[in-house]
Amino acid sequence: MIDLQLDIRNLKNFIGDKCLPRFQEEIVKCHQQLVNRTGKGNNFLGWIDLPENIDHDLIQRIQKEAERISKIAEVFVVIGIGGSYLGSRAILEALNDPFKQMEKEKRYPHIVFAGENLSEDYHSSLLGMLNQKDYAVAVISKSGTTTEPAVAFRLIKNHLGKKYGKENARSRIVAITDASRGALKKLADTEGYPCYVIPDDIGGRYSVLTPVGLLPVAVGGFDIVSLLDGARKMREAALHSSDCEQNPCALYAAVRNILFRNGKLVEILVAYEPNLLYMIEWWKQLFGESEGKDKKGIFPAGVTFTSDLHSMGQYIQDGMRTLFETVISVESPKRLLQIPNDPENLDGLNFLSGKRLSEVNKMAELGTTLAHVDGGVPNIRIHIPAVNENTLGQLIYFFEFACALSGYALGVNPFDQPGVEAYKNNMFALLGKPGYEKETETLRKRL
Ligand code: PA5
């Protein structure tokens, strides 16, 4: 049974009674295209059955690799960009204690990220920190040719070689890439790094439940079996029915498309737990890259409340009425913290004495939802009982399946990303990459 529930009560002022039943027929068609594998991009649907089909031996291999890494490394560097890092970062940040770094005794390596930007300051600072620590690295790239992680890997491989010697450095590197193609695969085979495969039929942003996400999460000391189990439960619900009343993925895909057609062009994913910030980032990539094409698509934005109520709150309450919100609402925190009584009550907060901080947070959530609905912002609520591996697995699969359905309802191919090539071509031309001579000349004239 899934624990995730979708609550659309706060859409009633925005979506007429007949809209959803009318849209149901469209969703049925999209669901059929997806499960019968007849829709656009149908050679990239390996993620659908992944939680069910994943090989038990692969899970064990990943767990053993994680154990080995924990023994040799205080820090684990995950090199990747886009779908090759956002999913693992989302899960790790959601589950990690934010102040864990301050503890002296740590059982699991501290995980850091590289190759998701080209900043000289960031990477110099990272290498400086790695001078002081024992570390290991996962280099992750499906294509094996993406510039940002390739550059970061060159820097870190060079650092590893100097620090440990070429031979010993090898045992500190794991590659996660295509089964046969790309420069990274060639490099890994030549150097003899342990290698994990990203299946051909799974695109980057749908790859979090492959070794791409599973290895870093296991190195972080979290339960990948429970994560996959959560995804498996959601898969059952997603495949079982295309009825919006029974399938939360279908319902979410339907209502966001209805809202879009009614002029709500921006969806803001909201969390009241700061550790879900990277879940929002992962979601932004999933929906942005999957739907933003052919001059179409809902613009995916994100905020964490209550912090952003003091920045974006004004706009959401009162700015252009082209927004709708989707709130990830978490029922129970992991810890207990009560607000103490203060006999002097100089801050006037004794009306909160004895209350849990989560109760105050919940009232902020409910109060904000009502205010935003009153201000003309439709509100969808995704309710999960707690943040743990299992609920995160459910949430991930929920968003993946809903995104695919939603992309089909929008009429796009949710599994390609032709738009990301434009910047790469310009960057290569400006850097003088061989083969780009003509573009180099044209672009330089424009600078
Ligand atoms: O979703 C996608 O396909 C992209 O965001 C990729 O994950 C990203 O561009 C990184 O690509 P690669 O893993 O090939 O380095």
Give 28-48 pLDDT, tens digit per residue: 999 999 999 999 999 999 999
- C-alpha of residue 81 to centroid of ligand 1, in Å: 6
pTM for this entry: 0.97
Q: Using the atom order of ligand 1, give the atom closest to the CA of residue 198.
A: 13
CA distance 425 to 237: 42
Q: Are 190 and 52 in contact (CB under 8 A)?
A: no
In this prediction, residue 420 carries a pLDDT of 85
CA distances, 138 to each of 212, 325, 342 (Å): 9, 35, 50
- C-alpha of residue 2 to centroid of ligand 1, in Å: 30
**What's at 89, amino acid-wise?**
R
Give 222-248 pLDDT, tens digit per residue: 999 999 999 999 999 999 999 999 999
CATH number of 50-222: 3.40.50.10490
| 130-133 contact pairs (CB < 8 A, 24+) | 130/75, 130/77, 130/156, 130/159, 130/163, 131/163, 133/73, 133/74, 133/75
**How would you list the strands of the sheet with 110-114, edge to edge?**
110-114, 75-79, 135-141, 173-177, 195-197
- What's the mean pLDDT in 407-424? 93
Q: What percent of the chain has pLDDT over 70?
A: 99
Nearest CA to ligand 1 atom 12: 141
In this prediction, residue 424 carries a pLDDT of 86
pLDDT > 90? residue 100: no
| pLDDT confidence band for 132 (50 / 70 / 90) | very high
Q: Are 15 and 192 in contact (CB under 8 A)?
A: no
CATH number of 5-39+227-415: 3.40.50.10490
| Shared fold status for 5-39+227-415 and 50-222 | yes
Residue indicated by tokens 């029974």? 246
Give the residue extent of every domain in the chain.
Answer: 5-39+227-415, 50-222
From 85, 143, 209, mutation site for ligand 1 pocket: most ligand atoms within 8 A of C-beta: 143
- What's the mean pLDDT in 133-144? 96
Nearest CA to ligand 1 atom 8: 82
From 85, 205, 212, 281, mutation site for ligand 1 pocket: most ligand atoms within 8 A of C-beta: 205
pLDDT > 70? residue 369: yes
- What's the mean pLDDT in 87-111? 85
pLDDT > 70? residue 70: yes
List residues with catalytic annotation: 289, 310, 424
